[in-house]
């Protein structure tokens, strides 16, 4: 049952396809956990007989991989608990195979001081489920003016600094943030959208926005911000992570920067390699995201960027909204979709459509984000945390948002057929989720 398999007797997962993207491992064998860590694994482990003094779990030949590390989640607690709480987000994460997640600082109050970081850490300990980390605000109150106390916040456990869904629009502020962060090698994360070009926009600028009569946000808003920040990065020598890249030109700019040796990483999210602006259809507000859904050309460029390594990671971009925020005219609707419970199957579509090998897809969800954040997670190794996901990569199912464990149900993927079903999620050796169909 979920919540068992704690720190008592060892647990043996046998008849498993053990996949570890960090080491390139893809073998049939067994794995044993004890005391919250991985004790051993391999193809010859318990080959002759299973021990009796342990719990035994038959994996049925399915994939046993590191738990997913989701590097961008909006938890809504504190301040908007009617949309999501740390508990409901943790429940959703467990159902999606996510064993660690990092929340943005755009809560109420904003996570821009020590008390905010301590609150997230305390609530995560109380929930005792998915591992929860946080970013702190780059500027006080997310106002884009005065820098937050980055050094102190980093000491308290903030994994990076960002103004979340708001771009650091002032070039001088961004330069100071990068320069200051270099002193303690902290990570600056940027929402890549030039604010004055995006102001008042509701969707991607182009023929579709003209047809729908909606104000557009040009793809140039993303490219300009990325190009500017890359110049500032070159000037300061800091570490920069560009969030949810969505345009062909943005991907190409980052590709060139990496070739020049700049310390830049980036991620994208399932909406940007699964949907396009045409999915908005007749003003579907569940398809309103920031940055907006782009063209088919942009989607293919994002997929190519994932395949060639330009885009380092895939994040859920989980942004729960209640019905009052979405059941309004498109231009007035809030941005965001829930994504924790669909992150794995939507990402696996890249494998099923022969765009990327399975190991490469899983790397974007596990060891790659963990490496960016410098977390000792996302890998299967002796002595590593026993954070695992068991899933059937080929099991088909239909997304049903009504059954989500997330408190909000704003998913554009509702009723979509997908492949890849989470069967079991384990954090620190404890089973937090077990599918009824397992």
Report the side by side order of strands in the sheet with 313-314: 187-190, 239-242, 264-268, 313-314
**Does the active-site annotation cover 317?**
yes
Q: Which DSSP letter does residue 393 get?
A: E
Contact criterion met (CB below 8 Å) for 177 and 147:
yes
Write the burial class of residue 34 (CB in 10 Å: 0-12 exposed, 13-18 middle, 19+ buried). Answer: middle
What is the H or E stretch that residue 27 is in?
A: strand 25-34
Pair type for strands 388-398 and 313-314? unpaired
Distance (Å, whole) CA 377 – CA 382 = 12
Distance (Å, whole) CA 2 – CA 435 = 10
Token pair for 274: 């699964």
Distance (Å, whole) CA 132 – CA 75 = 10
Pair type for strands 131-134 and 216-217? unpaired
A 10 A CB-CB count for 115 gives 10
Distance (Å, whole) CA 68 – CA 389 = 8
Residue 241: asked if its preceding bond is cis (omega within 30°), the reply is: no
DSSP string across 350-366: HHHTTSS-HHHHHHHHT
A 10 A CB-CB count for 394 gives 12
Distance (Å, whole) CA 258 – CA 69 = 23
Catalytic residue among 112, 312, 317, 392: 317
Pair type for strands 388-398 and 417-427? antiparallel
Show which residues are catalytic: 317
């Amino acid at each position: 049952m979920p919540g068992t398999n704690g720190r008592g007797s060892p647990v043996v997962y046998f008849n498993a396809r053990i996949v570890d993207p960090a080491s390139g491992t893809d073998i049939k064998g067994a794995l044993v956990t004890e005391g919250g860590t991985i004790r051993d694994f391999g193809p010859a482990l318990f080959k002759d007989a299973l021990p009796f003094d342990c719990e035994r779990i038959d994996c049925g030949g399915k994939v046993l991989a590191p738990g997913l590390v989701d590097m961008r989640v909006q938890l809504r607690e504190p301040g908007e608990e009617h949309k999501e709480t740390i508990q409901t987000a943790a429940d959703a994460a467990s159902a999606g195979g996510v064993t660690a997640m990092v929340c943005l600082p755009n809560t109420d109050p904003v996570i821009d001081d020590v008390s905010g970081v301590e609150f997230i850490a305390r609530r995560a300990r109380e929930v005792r489920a998915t591992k929860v980390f946080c970013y702190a605000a780059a500027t006080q109150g997310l106002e884009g003016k005065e820098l937050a106390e980055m050094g102190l916040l980093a000491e308290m456990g903030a994994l990076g600094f960002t103004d979340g869904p708001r771009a650091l629009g002032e070039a001088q502020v961004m330069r100071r943030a990068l320069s200051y962060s270099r002193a303690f090698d902290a990570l600056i994360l940027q929402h890549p959208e030039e604010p004055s070009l995006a102001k008042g926009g509701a969707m991607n600028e182009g023929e579709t926005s003209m047809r729908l009569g909606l104000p557009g946000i040009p793809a140039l808003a993303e490219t300009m911000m990325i190009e500017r920040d890359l110049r500032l990065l070159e000037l300061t020598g800091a570490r920069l992570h560009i969030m949810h890249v969505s345009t062909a030109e943005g991907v190409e700019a980052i590709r060139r920067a990496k070739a020049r040796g700049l310390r830049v990483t980036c991620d994208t999210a399932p909406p940007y390699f699964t949907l396009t602006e045409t999915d908005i259809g007749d003003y579907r507000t569940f398809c309103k995201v920031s940055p907006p859904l782009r063209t088919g050309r942009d989607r293919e460029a994002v997929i190519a960027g994932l395949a060639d390594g330009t885009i380092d990671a895939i994040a859920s971009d989980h942004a729960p909204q209640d019905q009052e925020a979405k059941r309004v005219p498109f231009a007035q609707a809030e941005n965001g979709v829930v994504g924790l419970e669909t992150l794995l199957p939507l990402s696996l579509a890249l494998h099923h459509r022969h765009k990327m090998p399975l190991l490469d897809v899983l790397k974007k969800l596990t060891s790659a984000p963990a490496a960016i954040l410098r977390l000792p997670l996302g890998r299967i190794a002796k002595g590593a945390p026993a954070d695992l996901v068991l899933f059937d990569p080929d099991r088909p199912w239909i997304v049903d948002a009504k059954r989500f464990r997330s408190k909000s149900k704003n998913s554009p993927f509702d009723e979509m057929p997908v492949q890849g079903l989470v069967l079991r999620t384990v954090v620190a050796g404890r089973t937090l989720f077990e599918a009824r169909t397992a």
